[in-house]
Amino acid sequence: MRGSDKDISIFISLILRHKPEVVGLKLDNYGYANVNDLLEGINKTGRFIDFKLLQNIVSEDNKQRYKFNEDCTKIRASQGHSIKVDLELEDRIPPEVLYHGTASRFVDKILTEGILKRSREYVHLSSNIDTAISVGKRHGNPTILKVNAKQMNVDGLKFKLSDNNVWLTDMVPVKYIIITQN
């Protein structure tokens, strides 16, 4: 993805996950925006995007952040919202272990409070360490936390799996967390 396309992708993420109002959009209950309204709103900000570029951004995004509906008239973010939307995800049984990447400066607080969703709808967990490392690096010196997801689920905590294979849960209590890597 070219630099300018990446900038537009980041802007789309802001719109579809957090602030649709910055381009005059309103998301439906399921987080979808009308594609034509999205394109028009983005173009009004002085950025250029057409449907072909939007399709390229969606298809080339290595994290699969976005999803079109069947006829490509609507688009939404796959997960990561700070606004209330129903992603229509069903409860799923997680693998035995999941991982959470964070900056080492947050570890003491996490080991006191657990992993909290903060301003997001869910806590995000990955099924592999490499993804967790990548996420942790975005916030500083990464630390990988291992989560006993199987026991969480047995104890009644629920998990969902997003369209882009991110495991979602409401919180991870401290007793399920193990530091695996600094």
- Domain harbouring 147, CATH code: 3.20.170.30
For residue 66, the SS3 value is strand
Among the listed ranges 28-32, 88-92, 138-142, which one has the minimum average pLDDT value?
138-142
**Is residue 67 located within the same domain as residue 37?**
yes
Q: Does residue 102 lie within any of the structural domains?
A: yes
The answer on 124 and 49 residing in a single domain is no
Q: What is the pTM of this model?
A: 0.80
- pLDDT band for position 164 (cuts 50, 70, 90): confident
Handedness of CA 120, 154, 177, 163 (dihedral sign): negative
Q: Work out the angle at residue 154's Cα, subtended by the Cα atoms of residues 113 and 99, and round it to the nearest 5 degrees.
A: 50
Check whether residue 168 and residue 135 sit in a common domain: yes
CATH number of residue 47's parent domain: 1.10.10.970
Instruction: Indicate whether 182 pLDDT > 60.
Output: no
In a domain, 90, yes or no: no
Mean pLDDT of 153-167: 95
Mean pLDDT of all residues in 18-45: 97
Give the pLDDT score at 63. 84
Residue 43 included in any domain? yes
What's the chain's Rg over C-alpha atoms? 17
Q: What is the pLDDT of residues 35-72, one digit of tens each?
A: 999 999 999 999 999 999 999 999 998 888 999 999 99
**Burial class for 23, CB neighbours closer than 10 Å (0-12, 13-18, 19+):** buried
Whether 96 shows a pLDDT value over 90: the answer reads yes
C-alpha 51/C-alpha 72 separation (Å) is 10
Residues 73, 140 within the same domain: no
Cβ neighbourhood burial of 9 (10 Å; 0-12, 13-18, 19+): buried
Tell me: the pLDDT tens digits for 107-132?
999 999 999 998 888 999 999 998 88
103 and 73 share one domain: no
From 25, 46, 77, give the residue that closes a domain.
77
The yes-or-no verdict on residue 2 having pLDDT over 80 is no
Q: What is the pLDDT of residue 54?
A: 97
Looking at the domain assignment, is residue 86 inside a domain?
no
CB-based contacts of 36, cutoff 8 Å, min separation 6: 73
If asked whether residues 69 and 128 sit together in one domain, one would say no
Domain range spanning residue 73? 3-77
Query: 13 lies in a domain?
Result: yes
Tokens 């079109």 correspond to what residue? 68
